Amino acid sequence: MTRSGTMAPEPVIRFAGVAKTYATRRGPIAAVRGVSFTLHPGRVLGIVGQSGSGKSTVASLLVRAEMPTAGAITFRGKDIAELRGRALRDFRRSVQMIFQDPFASLNPRFSVGRAVSEPLLIHGIGDASTRRARTLAALEEAELKPGAAFLDSLPHQLSGGQRQRVAIARALVLDPAVVVADEPVSMLDVSARAGIIALLRKLVRERALALAFITHDLSLVGTICDDVAVMDRGLFVEEGRARDLLASPRHDTTRRLIAAVPVPAPIVVEYPAANASPQERQP
Amino acid sequence: MSRGGVPGFSSRSGRIGLLLFCGFGLAALAADWIAPFDALAIHYDAAHAVVRMQKPGLTHLLGTNYYGRDIFSQVVVGARVSIGVGLLSAAIIVFVGTNIGLVSGYFGGRTDALLMRITDIAFGIPFFPFAILLVALLRPSIWNIVVTISCLLWRSVARVVRSQVLSLRERAFVRAAQVAGASHLRVMYVHIFPNILPMVLLYVSIGISYAVLAEASLSFLGFGDPNMTSWGSMLYDAYVTGSMSRAWWWTLPPGICITLFVVSVFLMARDWEVIANPRLAA
């Protein structure tokens, strides 16, 4: 399969004909039916599709939460299915995930400081003071400033956008090479979305992260992705540079997704001041 | 629930529970100093006759029983057996039940099927016939009563913990820990366990009260340790000597102690919820 990002450096992750079939009581279900792509440092690949298209399965495969039933996934040239021991720990440290629902992805009993330092504890990195310093740095990089003010907060005391930033800090604290973001803004207020998108873009640029951005919302693709792959029923039906694909979609699925993007058409109704009661003027 | 005071014992009912519990605990620990007589000593009067069924008075604060033993001393010494059996059994019940529930719910599949069938079997065994049989086979002793209670009563803890773990393990924060490379043990005990802690604490209190009642019942049925005095065995003695309706000073003290102790644990458990749930504490 041809790649659009030919100018990019060596890929960190390569999917080669990857398929995933789940065995169920009613017979096998093919969630992913053979997809190939690469992730490159400093580039964002958008994987777009409707629910049930297999994009979340791709996310699970990327972080090795699931194993492919066919094809191979390589990380820096090594098949991730064969990683063991130290190599597997390196992989776990290098590939991090940001989840859709920041209300569910943070342990309700862990303070922010505990949640963000947990990956460091898991990997036995540093002593208490180094871990604290790295936790603070990660929080500030996720634009929770000052970081120290958030350390003792519990998730239920934060807004949705702040929680997602905590989740991003948790993903950053191990200094990963690859981040998989599965619908990272779909549960957030529109006002919080732009900030999270801008933050992810900044991180990709500054840290040369390889980001897989999984979404059902094509309107987000233009704001962050370099490349896009459109998924339908377990296959990539169309892929290419984000702006080319948005400008001239060729496949029906892509056109449907573009048509589904709500177009802002604000109609401003101005009440004549004399007729307006105070209640009506309130937002 | 009001704020301030000892964390977790901020409500009036919680403080009353704590006070009662500490009172019983102190009595049990210091029983040898508090009890004026040996609980099993038989008292004689000047004419060398046994002091039977004496009403409460100055020498014998709660009177004496049919065998001429001092009832106040028996109540104080009996607290040690009743509370000891209760606390130890509750600890074993909750430890075993929580671990079986955690492993079963977390791993699922065959592990779950096997552990839950064992739990089903434990549920299928009626408690008292099993307890009587086991104590009779093993000889009556407090250790065997602890073993008997622990053998069966972990079952409901295991069931309830498993059902909670089944829902918790699907939550994204558990996946986040797994993706970050946490081991199964770490996910189970560091990430999932704190979320079932309120339930576990509740079962500690249920376990204590259930074990105290079970010990009292087994002793009342005559399967207690014959060399030890417990609240249940006091009631058993009153029953077999036909004294239940004749000597209120014999039956009321152990009965009231059993009730008050169980109530004290429940009053405290209501406040433990606050310790275990950060939302309520904030």
CA distance A187 to A164: 10
CA distance A202 to A213: 14
Q: What does B18-70 look like in DSSP terms, one character per residue?
A: HHHHHHHHHHHHTHHHH-SS-TTPPPB-TTS-B--SPPS-SSSTT-B-TTS-B
Architecture of the domain made up of B20-281? Orthogonal Bundle (1.10)
- The per-residue pLDDT for B1 is 38
Q: Residue B124 in contact with residue B118, Cβ under 8 Å?
A: no
Query: Is the model's pLDDT at A171 over the cut of 80?
Result: yes
**C-beta atoms surrounding A205 within 10 Å:** 11
CA distance B38 to A253: 89
CA distance A209 to A205: 7
Q: Residue B209 is encoded by which pair of tokens?
A: 């009260």
Q: From chain A, pick out residues whose CB is under 8 angstroms from the CB of B186.
A: 122
Indicate the residue of A65, A92, A123 with minimum beta-carbon distance to B175. A65
Indicate the residue of A65, A95, A122 with minimum beta-carbon distance to B186. A122
Q: Residue B181 is encoded by which pair of tokens?
A: 């490379």
Q: Which residue has the tokens 């309830």?
A: B160
Indicate the residue of A93, A95, A106 with minimum beta-carbon distance to B173. A106
- The per-residue pLDDT for A2 is 45
Exposure b/e, A141-173, CB count within 10 A at least 16 = b: bbbbeebeebbebbbeebebbbbbbbbbbbbbb
Q: Nearest residue on chain A to B275, judged by CA atoms?
A: A109
Query: Is the model's pLDDT at B280 over the cut of 80?
Result: no
Indicate the residue of B172, B178, B194 with minimum beta-carbon distance to A109. B194
Query: Positive or negative, the Cα torsion across B59, B63, B65, B70?
Result: negative
Indicate the residue of A100, A119, A157 with minimum beta-carbon distance to B180. A119
The full set of domain ranges for chain A reads: 13-259
Q: What is the mean pLDDT of residues B201-205?
A: 86
Q: What does B145-164 look like in DSSP terms, one character per residue?
A: HHHHHHHHHHHHHHHHHHHH
The SS3 of residue B246 is coil
CA distance B152 to B148: 7
Cα atoms found within 13 Å of the Cα of residue B145, Cβ hemisphere only: 32
Do β-strands A235-241 and A227-232 pair in parallel, antiparallel, or remain unpaired? antiparallel
Q: Nearest residue on chain A to B194, judged by CA atoms?
A: A109
Cα-Cα end-to-end distance for chain A: 52
Query: Is the model's pLDDT at A30 over the cut of 50?
Result: yes
How many angstroms away from the CA of B278 is the closest CA of chain A?
A: 7
Write out pLDDT tens, residues B154-170.
999 999 999 999 999 98
Q: Residue B275 in contact with residue B8, Cβ under 8 Å?
A: yes
Interface subset of A 77-96, CB within 8 angstroms of B: 88-89, 92-93, 95-96
How many angstroms away from the CA of B120 is the closest CA of chain A?
A: 25
| Contact yes or no for A108 and B278 at CB 8 A | yes
| Contact yes or no for A170 and B176 at CB 8 A | yes
How many angstroms away from the CA of B178 is the closest CA of chain A?
A: 8
CA distance A116 to A135: 6
How many angstroms away from the CA of B277 is the closest CA of chain A?
A: 8
Amino acid identity of A220? Answer: L
Q: Which residue has the tokens 């275990």?
A: B276
Residues paired with A29 in a beta bridge: A22
Query: Positive or negative, the Cα torsion across B210, B213, B219, B224?
Result: positive
Write out pLDDT tens, residues B108-132.
999 999 999 999 999 999 988 988 8
Write out pLDDT tens, residues B2-51.
444 455 566 788 889 889 999 999 988 988 888 888 888 888 888 888 87
| Contact yes or no for B171 and A157 at CB 8 A | no
Q: How high does pLDDT run on average in chain A?
A: 86
**Which percentage of chain A shows pLDDT scores above 90?**
51
Q: From chain B, pick out residues whose CB is under 8 angstroms from the CB of A170.
A: 176, 180
Do β-strands A70-75 and A13-24 pair in parallel, antiparallel, or remain unpaired? antiparallel
Task: Kindly indicate the confidence band of residue B282, based on its pLDDT and cuts at 50, 70 and 90.
Answer: very low
- Rounded to 5 degrees, what are φ and ψ at B60? -110, 100
Write out pLDDT tens, residues A53-96.
888 899 999 999 889 999 999 999 889 988 888 889 899 999 99
**Which percentage of chain B shows pLDDT scores above 70?**
93
Query: Is the model's pLDDT at B201 over the cut of 50?
Result: yes
**C-beta atoms surrounding A2 within 10 Å:** 7
- The per-residue pLDDT for A5 is 47
The full set of domain ranges for chain B reads: 20-281
Peptide bond into B7 cis (omega under 30): no
Q: What is the mean pLDDT of residues B210-237?
A: 86
Residues paired with A239 in a beta bridge: A229
| Contact yes or no for B172 and A99 at CB 8 A | yes
Q: From chain A, pick out residues whose CB is under 8 angstroms from the CB of B179.
A: 63, 65, 92, 95-97
The SS3 of residue A231 is strand
Can you list the positions of beta strands (E) in A115-247? 178-182, 210-215, 227-232, 235-241
Q: What is the mean pLDDT of residues B67-81?
A: 88
Which residues does A121 contact at the CB level (< 8 Å), separation at least 6?
A131
Q: From chain A, pick out residues whose CB is under 8 angstroms from the CB of B171.
A: 104
ipTM of the complex: 0.79
What's the CATH fold of domain A13-259?
Rossmann fold (3.40.50)
Amino acid identity of A131? Answer: R
Amino acid identity of B99? Answer: N
The SS3 of residue A245 is helix
Interface subset of A 122-181, CB within 8 angstroms of B: 122-123, 154, 156-157, 167, 170, 174
Q: What is the mean pLDDT of residues A21-47?
A: 91
Amino acid identity of B212? Answer: V
Across the A/B interface, how many CB contacts are shorter than 8 Å?
64
Indicate the residue of A96, A104, A108 with minimum beta-carbon distance to B195. A108
How many angstroms away from the CA of B93 is the closest CA of chain A?
A: 25
How many angstroms away from the CA of A76 is the closest CA of chain B?
A: 18
| Contact yes or no for A122 and B181 at CB 8 A | yes
Q: Which residue has the tokens 């990660």?
A: A138
Exposed, middle or buried: residue A264 (CB in 10 Å: 0-12, 13-18, 19+)?
Answer: exposed
**C-beta atoms surrounding A237 within 10 Å:** 16
Q: Residue A50 is encoded by which pair of tokens?
A: 């409707």
